[in-house]
Amino acid sequence: MPAAAPPATPRARTVVARATALSKVYGHGETRVTALDSVSVEFHRAEFTAIMGPSGSGKSTLMHCMAGLDTVSSGSARIGDTELASLGDRQLTRLRRDKVGFVFQAFNLLPTLTALENITLPMDIAGRRPDPEWLGQIVTTLGLSGRLGHRPNQLSGGQQQRVAVARALTAKPEIIFADEPTGNLDSRSGAELLGFLAESVRALEQTVVMVTHDPVAASYADRVLFLADGRIVDELHRPTADAVLDRMRSLPGAHAPDPRS
Amino acid sequence: MLRTALRNLLAHKARLLMTALAVLLGTAFVSGTLVFSDSVGSAFRNRTAKSLDDVAVSVTAGGGPADTGRLDARAAAAVRAVPGVTRVRPSVHGTVTVADRDGNPAGREWGSQGANYSPDDGGKDGKDSRYPLRTGRGPSAPDEVALDARTAERTGARLGGTVRLAVDGPVITKKLVGTVGTDDPRVESGGSLALFDTRTAQQLLGTKGEFTELVVSAAPGTDQDALAAKVRAALPQGLQAQSGKALAAEQSKVIDKETKSIRNTFLVFAGIALFVGVFIIANTFTMLIAQRTREIALLRAVGASRRQVVRSVLIEAGVLGLVASAVGFVLGLGIAVGLRSVLDANGASLPDGPLVIEPSAVLSALAVGTAVTVLAAWLPSRKAARIAPVEALSAVDQPAAPRSLVLRNAIGGVLTALGVAIMLYVTTIRDSSGLQTAMAGSALTLTGVIVLAPLLSRPFVALFGRLTARFSGVSGTLARRNALRNPRRTAATASALMIGLTLITGFTVVAISADRGVDRMGAQDLTADYKVTSTGFGGMSPEVARTLGGQPGVDAAVPIRMTGFTSHGAPAGLRTTNLGSLTKVTDLKVREGSLAAVRGTSVAVSDEYAEQRALRVGSSLPMEFYDGKKATARVAAVYAKNDVLSDALAAPSFVNPHLDKVLDQEVLVKAAPGASGDLPATLRKALGANPIMKIQSRDDLRRESAGNIDDVLYLMYGLLGMAVVIAVIGVVNTLAMSVFERTREIGMLRAIGLARAGVRSMVRLESVMIAMFGAVLGVGLGVFLAWSGGHLLRSSFPQYEMVVPWARIGVFLLLALAVGVLAAVWPARRAARLNVLESIGSQ
């Protein structure tokens, strides 16, 4: 078992993102599906949150709504002081560029760009120069120093995901969303990547929200939110993999997934 | 496997749309050409058949020894006496130019007909069935004329009014007594027809008492060939008889030959369009197969053989080709109709007739379209066969590493080098014998550059990317990387555009250079302000020059009399003129001797002729004139080669005795300083507003030759336009496919903050890079081929010198830029509209 994050010192708990009575409904009439049912949650600075739940529980939808990738049916989703529901596509795009970082399950990188170019891509889109000191720190932290000139197809799966994390970090976003970032990795690379994510929260004071269905992955987080049927049904602080697994088993109507390790 | 192929076809119908469009347009061009030429050919044939309807046998002069028999009333009587002959119509025809209100020709020069009005059977009812009367009556007195109704309308002539016309001399006037209809194709397609009574027609058009043709009719069902033989036997020596059937067959052969040559010219351009289409088809199938790798691997894993995979791809291509060709054929019918109106609008005056759809046209269009598609899909299908079954299982959806370009570059390098070497060799050829070599060299160079295009795309895109990087930001970088991502695809797309632009640029450079050459030719030797010529035979009486010389505002009117001689068996041109004022109308440079010494039997020769014959001042030159008389001339002067004066110049007193008739072919008029701009009108009036007289200013002369070149050039643009349109479809196709392939990438870019406008500009810039790459290659290659091939024109056209029309080339490049932007509109919009979440999650 990897070591859990060190006990958080009781700092000023700044809220960087907040959902209030957030609902998301797909379709209408017969095919109406409520993906999120009045969810309220806060994400704090320098905190690593994992969102867990069986498939169809709404965990990805919550992340998409909070990240400005999907629209909200009712309620509010805020990043900082910005209400996402009030933004148009152009402003949302800008918000994602400047305030949000992303790590997807796969296909994070542009094959035509080198690792370094991929890392600085959001800055290039914004037309800003990355802070070299910060960039150096990230690259070193993620162990990518020798790989910056490589193209994605010259990197291993783990290295590719680390480049994706580095990219998410460079613009110093308010919050980073990671969608099953270890889903395509073997357990060793997965553990390594989760270690880096936790490290970036602890040492670089970043805020990370990660969707996963892997209890081991969730055990790297500071807290775990459990979703079922579009609602937050439970919360666990400083979790261990076993504790997470126990909670999963007790979720209403859900069967626990196979632990991967 | 057939079912798989069909399923695939249906599944990808949107993506195959552009490919189908490329095939469709190419086939439409082919079938349009075929249907057009069949229709026009059949219309022409119908018309000749109709005009030969009542001709059983035609008797004409000629076919015997030099002094031919007389086609006169006696011969007509002899023919009428042949059993089986029901009627003999003695016909007289020739060229008669009718004047319109302004004294200009009322019809086209080559369609100005004159004939006799010969009432059937010696005039029992006074009507000639060849020319049905519309109004009035047929001409029966020497001062009467009938016109075809259309010409009468055009000239505004009324019954009882006067008609002004000319045959080969001064204007004559006749009274209009009737208007007629005719099915003479030359008249119907923009000519004019003037009819006289037989005796007047003979007087005006031929020798007195003789006819041009005896048209023999026979009872229906008569064996024409047998009758022709009988007539032939009854004819005096020197006359020939041909059956109507034989004439029709002969004309039909001529028509076939002409329509075939039009058809082949168009087919060459249709072929170019299809060839361009090949690149697009090949590109599409390569992309489809790449996208379907896992699916094909799965088929292989469950037991499909390599051959079955190949066959499945080829069946897919075949069905696509067949369907697109069928639609293309229908579109081709529209093109056939359109082609006729375009040519009609440009004055081709084709006969009317229904659209003729031969089964062979349908079959060839379908066969060509299908074959081209299958052939173009053949290489990609081989690629599909190489997909290993294990690729079905690979989790990572990484496209296979592109194959090395080393072999391709080597082949391309060799082909290009060979082609360029041949073209450089062509520049040393001094006559037109190198045409085949030049064509082979051009084809080789073009092929070489197509093969090399992937290699060339790198530096070009890099350079172009650097140019745009300043104002396009990250979208520009991404576009550049995308364009370089698959050099083969970029190159194939650009090559399609390059082919069209190479040909367009090549033709433009040669045509514009030739145009300038013609210009120079006119400006170089001619210093006269107007050139007066006659469209009649022979020329103008010396009176014309005298009349013109006496007009106010005329400084000099110099007649040029043209003839020739042979010396030591070699023919040469000879001119005679008013030597005193010659230098006023032509820029004559005397190199040796003096023009004043050209009198008696002394001549002046051009330096070129002098060099050929090793002549100098004082040499003697043996001459044989066209009348067979011989003389020995002395060279008194040598002048720089001059187009007005040809090889040799002599005094009229030396030349005139050897001429059949003393006529001038040209009168060159120099205006007096300060002459009014109405001088041409004055001259025309002085010549009695004669419609056969042509008065052309220097600008007119220039336009006359240049106008042709311009027309040809615009026709070329039109024909090559189809190839360019297909190439543009290719760009749209490639971009749409690329956008589809890169859906997830675009989703990811949007997620991390690239705005829709950024996505659009990324796609647009890639499109512009591809288009500009093709355009720059095409323009460069076109200029090179025009430069090297142009050397072949030098011998027959010494004034030719290459001119690069920069302005027009600039327009081509701008158009290519516009094409790039336009081609990207739809794919860019699609890319920008992609839903971020769906894109990221898509396979």
Interface contact flag, B840 A64, Cβ < 8 Å: no
Structure confidence at residue B394 (pLDDT): 58
**Partner residue opposite A96 with nearest CB, options B401, B752, B840:** B752
Interface contact flag, B474 A127, Cβ < 8 Å: yes
**Higher confidence at residue A5 or residue B133?**
B133
Interface contact flag, B474 A121, Cβ < 8 Å: yes
Highest mean pLDDT among B12-26, B324-338, B698-712: B324-338
**Higher confidence at residue B389 or residue B117?**
B117
B47 and B95 co-located in one domain: no
pLDDT-derived band at B524 (thresholds 50, 70, 90) equals low
Is residue B30 one of the residues assigned to a domain? Answer: yes
Interface contact flag, A107 B755, Cβ < 8 Å: no
B392 and B518 co-located in one domain: no
- Alpha-carbon separation of residue B367 from B25, B326, B335 (angstroms): 15, 10, 19
* The pLDDT of residue B527 is above 70: yes
pLDDT digit string, tens, across residues B199-258: 898 888 877 788 888 888 888 778 888 888 888 888 887 788 888 888 888 888 888 888
Concatenating the DSSP letter of every residue in B254-316 gives HHHHHHHHHHHHHHHHHHHHHHHHHHHHHHHHHHHHHHTHHHHHHHHHTT--HHHHHHHHHHH
How far is it, in rounded angstroms, from Cα B497 to Cα B776?
Answer: 10
Interface contact flag, B474 A93, Cβ < 8 Å: no
**Higher confidence at residue B694 or residue B183?**
B694
Structure confidence at residue A8 (pLDDT): 46
* The pLDDT of residue A2 is above 70: no
* The pLDDT of residue B22 is above 70: yes
Instruction: Provide the shortest C-alpha distance from residue B842 to chain A (in Å).
Output: 11
Structure confidence at residue B3 (pLDDT): 74
Instruction: Provide the shortest C-alpha distance from residue B406 to chain A (in Å).
Output: 21
Beta bridge partners of residue A196, listed in sequence order: none
Closest CA relative to residue A181, chosen from A64, A97, A102: A102
- Structural domain that includes position B394: 1-56+221-230+245-401
Structure confidence at residue B143 (pLDDT): 92
**E strands present in B62-166:** 85-91, 93-95, 97-98, 112-117, 133-136, 144-148, 162-166
**Higher confidence at residue B523 or residue B274?**
B274
pLDDT digit string, tens, across residues B545-565: 999 888 888 999 999 998 999
Interface of B with A in 466-485 (CB under 8 A): 473-474, 477-478, 481-482, 484-485
Query: Going by C-beta distance under 8 Å and a sequence separation of 6 or more, which residues neighbour residue B153?
Result: none
Q: Is B489 on the interface with A (CB under 8 A)?
A: no
Structure confidence at residue B811 (pLDDT): 94
Structure confidence at residue A259 (pLDDT): 44
Closest CA relative to residue B498, chosen from B462, B451, B420, B446: B446
B31 and B107 co-located in one domain: no
Written as six digits, the tokens of B271 are: 């072929």
Interface contact flag, B744 A124, Cβ < 8 Å: no
Interface contact flag, A122 B752, Cβ < 8 Å: yes
Q: Is B746 on the interface with A (CB under 8 A)?
A: no
Contact of A223 with A211, CB cutoff 8 Å: no
Phi then psi for residue A15, to 5 deg, are: -85, 125
How far is it, in rounded angstroms, from Cα A157 to Cα A146?
Answer: 16
Structure confidence at residue B194 (pLDDT): 92
Chain B residues within 8 A of A70 when measuring between CB atoms:
837
Query: Going by C-beta distance under 8 Å and a sequence separation of 6 or more, which residues neighbour residue B714?
Result: none
Of B291-305, B442-456, B684-698, the one with minimum mean pLDDT is B291-305
- Residue B45 CB coordination number (10 Å): 18
CB pairs < 8 Å spanning A and B: 71
Query: Going by C-beta distance under 8 Å and a sequence separation of 6 or more, which residues neighbour residue B425?
Result: B437, B441
Closest CA relative to residue B772, chosen from B497, B586, B524: B497
Interface contact flag, A124 B473, Cβ < 8 Å: yes
B549 and B624 co-located in one domain: yes
Q: Mean of the pLDDT values across residues A18-26?
A: 90
Query: Which one of A89, A112, A155, A172 would you mutate to disrupt binding with B, by most B Cβ within 10 Å of its Cβ?
Result: A112
How far is it, in rounded angstroms, from Cα A6 to Cα A238?
Answer: 9
Residue of A nearest to B398 (CA): A153
Structure confidence at residue B776 (pLDDT): 95
**Partner residue opposite A93 with nearest CB, options B398, B474, B753:** B753
Q: Mean of the pLDDT values across residues B56-79?
A: 75
* The pLDDT of residue B297 is above 70: yes
**Partner residue opposite B750 with nearest CB, options A93, A124, A167:** A93
* The pLDDT of residue B152 is above 60: yes
Is residue B421 one of the residues assigned to a domain? Answer: no
Contact of B652 with B561, CB cutoff 8 Å: yes
**B239-243/B172-180 β-pairing:** unpaired
Interface contact flag, B754 A93, Cβ < 8 Å: yes
Closest CA relative to residue A210, chosen from A202, A222, B57: A222
B196 and B237 co-located in one domain: yes
* The pLDDT of residue A74 is above 50: yes
Structure confidence at residue B395 (pLDDT): 46
Residue of A nearest to B842 (CA): A107
Contact of B535 with B109, CB cutoff 8 Å: yes
B20 and B81 co-located in one domain: no
Query: Which one of A104, A117, A167 would you mutate to disrupt binding with B, by most B Cβ within 10 Å of its Cβ?
Result: A104
Is residue B503 one of the residues assigned to a domain? Answer: yes
Interface contact flag, B484 A96, Cβ < 8 Å: no
pLDDT digit string, tens, across residues B464-513: 888 877 777 888 888 888 888 888 889 999 999 999 999 999 999 988 88
Contact of B789 with B831, CB cutoff 8 Å: no
B264 and B171 co-located in one domain: no
Percent of chain A predicted with pLDDT > 70: 91
Contact of B792 with B515, CB cutoff 8 Å: no
Concatenating the DSSP letter of every residue in B705-747 gives HHHHHHHHHHHHHHHHHHHHHHHHHHHHHHHHHHHHHTHHHHH
Interface contact flag, A112 B752, Cβ < 8 Å: no
Contact of B335 with B355, CB cutoff 8 Å: no
How far is it, in rounded angstroms, from Cα A206 to Cα B340?
Answer: 74
Is residue B435 one of the residues assigned to a domain? Answer: no
Structure confidence at residue B348 (pLDDT): 61
Beta bridge partners of residue B145, listed in sequence order: B176
Instruction: Provide the shortest C-alpha distance from residue B309 to chain A (in Å).
Output: 28
B647 and B586 co-located in one domain: yes
B655 and B703 co-located in one domain: no
How far is it, in rounded angstroms, from Cα A216 to Cα A195?
Answer: 12
The helix (H) or strand (E) run that includes residue B679 is: helix B679-686
Q: Is B837 on the interface with A (CB under 8 A)?
A: yes
* The pLDDT of residue B588 is above 90: no
Structure confidence at residue B367 (pLDDT): 94
Is residue B440 one of the residues assigned to a domain? Answer: no
Query: Going by C-beta distance under 8 Å and a sequence separation of 6 or more, which residues neighbour residue B225?
Result: B243, B245, B246
Written as six digits, the tokens of B788 are: 């090297």
Is residue B204 one of the residues assigned to a domain? Answer: yes
Q: What average pLDDT does chain B have?
A: 85
Contact of B262 with B37, CB cutoff 8 Å: yes
Contact of A216 with A241, CB cutoff 8 Å: yes
Query: Going by C-beta distance under 8 Å and a sequence separation of 6 or more, which residues neighbour residue A175?
Result: A16, A17, A43, A66, A79, A99, A100, A101, A207, A208, A209
Contact of B193 with B184, CB cutoff 8 Å: yes
Contact of B655 with B574, CB cutoff 8 Å: yes
Query: Which one of A61, A64, A69, A186 would you mutate to disrupt binding with B, by most B Cβ within 10 Å of its Cβ?
Result: A69
Structure confidence at residue B842 (pLDDT): 62
Contact of B16 with B320, CB cutoff 8 Å: yes
Is residue B423 one of the residues assigned to a domain? Answer: no
- Residue B349 CB coordination number (10 Å): 15
Chain B residues within 8 A of A64 when measuring between CB atoms:
837
Interface contact flag, B748 A110, Cβ < 8 Å: yes
The helix (H) or strand (E) run that includes residue B240 is: strand B239-243
How far is it, in rounded angstroms, from Cα B785 to Cα B773?
Answer: 18
Amino acid at A24: K
Interface contact flag, B478 A112, Cβ < 8 Å: yes
- In angstroms, the first-to-last Cα distance of chain A is 10
Q: Which of B401, B416, B441 is the last residue of a domain?
A: B401
Amino acid at B723: A
* The pLDDT of residue B721 is above 60: yes
Interface contact flag, A90 B755, Cβ < 8 Å: yes
pLDDT digit string, tens, across residues B307-317: 888 888 899 89
Of A37-41, A174-178, B168-172, B615-619, the one with minimum mean pLDDT is B168-172
How far is it, in rounded angstroms, from Cα B81 to Cα B216?
Answer: 11
Angle of the B806-833 helix axis to the B487-525 helix axis, nearest 10: 160
Q: Could you tell me which residues of chain A have a Cβ less than 8 Å from any Cβ in chain B?
A: 64, 67, 69-70, 89-90, 93-94, 96-98, 101-102, 104, 107-108, 110-113, 121-122, 124-127, 153, 167, 184
The helix (H) or strand (E) run that includes residue B561 is: strand B554-567
Cα-Cα-Cα-Cα torsion B116, B122, B125, B128, nearest 10 degrees, comes to -30
Query: Which one of B752, B759, B761, B843 would you mutate to disrupt binding with A, by most A Cβ within 10 Å of its Cβ?
Result: B752
| 3-class DSSP state of B141 | coil
Written as six digits, the tokens of B171 are: 């204007």
**B602-606/B648-650 β-pairing:** antiparallel
Query: Which one of A24, A55, A121, A129 would you mutate to disrupt binding with B, by most B Cβ within 10 Å of its Cβ?
Result: A121
Q: Which of B361, B377, B401 is the last residue of a domain?
A: B401
How far is it, in rounded angstroms, from Cα B120 to Cα B131?
Answer: 11
Query: Which one of A26, A91, A95, A125 would you mutate to disrupt binding with B, by most B Cβ within 10 Å of its Cβ?
Result: A125
How far is it, in rounded angstroms, from Cα B489 to Cα B584?
Answer: 64
Is residue B153 one of the residues assigned to a domain? Answer: yes
Instruction: Provide the shortest C-alpha distance from residue A122 to chain B (in Å).
Output: 6
Beta bridge partners of residue A50, listed in sequence order: A210, A224
Interface contact flag, B755 A70, Cβ < 8 Å: no
Q: Mean of the pLDDT values across residues A123-133?
A: 86
Q: Mean of the pLDDT values across residues B368-384?
A: 90
At the second CATH level, the architecture of A45-62+87-250 is 3-Layer(aba) Sandwich (3.40)
Contact of B169 with B104, CB cutoff 8 Å: no
How far is it, in rounded angstroms, from Cα B31 to Cα B42?
Answer: 16
Q: Mean of the pLDDT values across residues B795-802?
A: 78
Domain count, chain B: 4
Domain positions in chain A: 45-62+87-250
B576 and B681 co-located in one domain: yes
pLDDT digit string, tens, across residues A190-220: 898 899 889 888 888 889 999 998 889 999 9
Q: Mean of the pLDDT values across residues B163-178?
A: 89
Query: Going by C-beta distance under 8 Å and a sequence separation of 6 or more, which residues neighbour residue A153?
Result: A111, B398, B401
- Residue B185 CB coordination number (10 Å): 18
pLDDT-derived band at B347 (thresholds 50, 70, 90) equals low
Q: Mean of the pLDDT values across residues B726-753?
A: 89
Query: Going by C-beta distance under 8 Å and a sequence separation of 6 or more, which residues neighbour residue A3?
Result: none
Interface of B with A in 367-426 (CB under 8 A): 395, 398, 401
Instruction: Provide the shortest C-alpha distance from residue B794 to chain A (in Å).
Output: 51
**Partner residue opposite A125 with nearest CB, options B395, B754, B756:** B754
Of B21-25, B55-59, B429-433, B661-665, the one with minimum mean pLDDT is B429-433
* The pLDDT of residue B400 is above 80: no
Contact of B113 with B93, CB cutoff 8 Å: yes
| 3-class DSSP state of B447 | helix
B664 and B725 co-located in one domain: no
User: How many helices and strands in chain A, by DSSP H and E?
Assistant: 9, 10
**A175-179/A100-103 β-pairing:** parallel
Instruction: Provide the shortest C-alpha distance from residue B416 to chain A (in Å).
Output: 30
Q: Which of B212, B244, B276 is the last residue of a domain?
A: B244
Q: Is B758 on the interface with A (CB under 8 A)?
A: yes
| 3-class DSSP state of B237 | coil
Interface contact flag, A110 B478, Cβ < 8 Å: yes
Interface contact flag, B752 A113, Cβ < 8 Å: no
